[in-house]
């Protein structure tokens, strides 16, 4: 099963920090192919500094709004908010679709700072119509969409529990083309170019969309004990 009781968010973030001095890695799992050693953790840390890239790209005083997506699960444990009242999420409420509309509200309240919204491709489907509002009012919101082809967290949990996932894959749009159809600039990025592309988007005035095609991995649930 790989790392067991210790493989919770706090342990993973702490281990990653000791290895790299940065935020926690994203490619961790307890199902088949789980990380089973510190060497494996080091390998993951070297290959997937996605959360650290987001932190470096986002200005220290800018607010961020996180949907229910795997990247947000890591952020709850390992993202340094830097300033009070700047990290917001719908954790525990099943709040798919929360991130982007909430970020627009923050941009209306304080148009002097860029705002970041983070969603998965599943959660983004709940909020695509709001691109029209973002464009109409030229709100300074950058929407980072992590596109893993479906409901990634459900895929992870079902695969770990049952050996396969059912009905977690989604038919979805090309989010870059969709953004551009609203007149909102869009860019497709990679883990290696994320920091650069996200920084650039946050610097430009008005709304923007950054799409990261990536299958991120979850750590083990912490509420389950050993059988």
Instruction: Read off the pLDDT of residues 138-161 as tens digits, 9 standing for 90 and up.
Output: 999 999 999 887 676 777 767 777
Which architecture, in CATH terms, is 49-213? 3-Layer(aba) Sandwich (3.40)
The pLDDT value given to residue 185: 98
- Spatial CB neighbours of 13, under 8 Å, sequence gap ≥ 6: 23, 24, 77, 78
The pLDDT value given to residue 219: 60
**CB hemisphere CA count around 217 (13 angstroms):** 24
The pLDDT value given to residue 17: 53
Cα–Cα distance measured from residue 15 to residue 3, given in angstroms and rounded to the nearest whole number? 12
Instruction: Read off the pLDDT of residues 20-40 as tens digits, 9 standing for 90 and up.
Output: 455 444 433 333 333 344 444
What number of residues does the chain have? 227
Domain ranges of the chain: 49-213
């Amino acid at each position: 099963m790989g790392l067991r009781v210790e493989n919770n968010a706090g342990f993973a973030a702490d281990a990653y920090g000791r290895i790299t001095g940065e935020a926690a890695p994203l490619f961790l799992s307890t199902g088949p192919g789980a990380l089973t050693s510190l060497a494996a953790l080091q390998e993951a840390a070297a290959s997937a500094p996605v959360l650290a890239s987001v932190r470096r790209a986002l200005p220290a005083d800018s607010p961020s709004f996180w949907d229910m997506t795997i990247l947000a699960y890591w952020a709850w444990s390992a993202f340094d908010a830097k300033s009070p009242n700047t990290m917001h999420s719908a954790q525990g409420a099943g709040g798919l679709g929360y991130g982007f509309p909430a970020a627009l509200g923050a941009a209306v309240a304080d148009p002097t700072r860029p705002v970041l919204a983070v969603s998965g491709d599943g959660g983004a489907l709940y909020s695509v119509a709001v691109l029209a509002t973002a464009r109409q009012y030229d709100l300074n919101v950058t929407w980072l969409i992590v596109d893993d082809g479906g409901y990634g967290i459900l895929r992870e949990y079902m695969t770990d529990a049952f050996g396969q996932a059912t009905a977690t894959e989604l038919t979805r749009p090309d989010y870059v083309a969709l953004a551009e159809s609203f007149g909102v600039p869009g860019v497709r990025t990679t883990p290696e170019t994320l920091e650069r592309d996200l920084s650039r988007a946050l610097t430009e005035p008005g709304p923007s969309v950054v799409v990261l095609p990536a299958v991120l991995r979850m750590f083990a649930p912490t509420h389950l004990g050993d059988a």
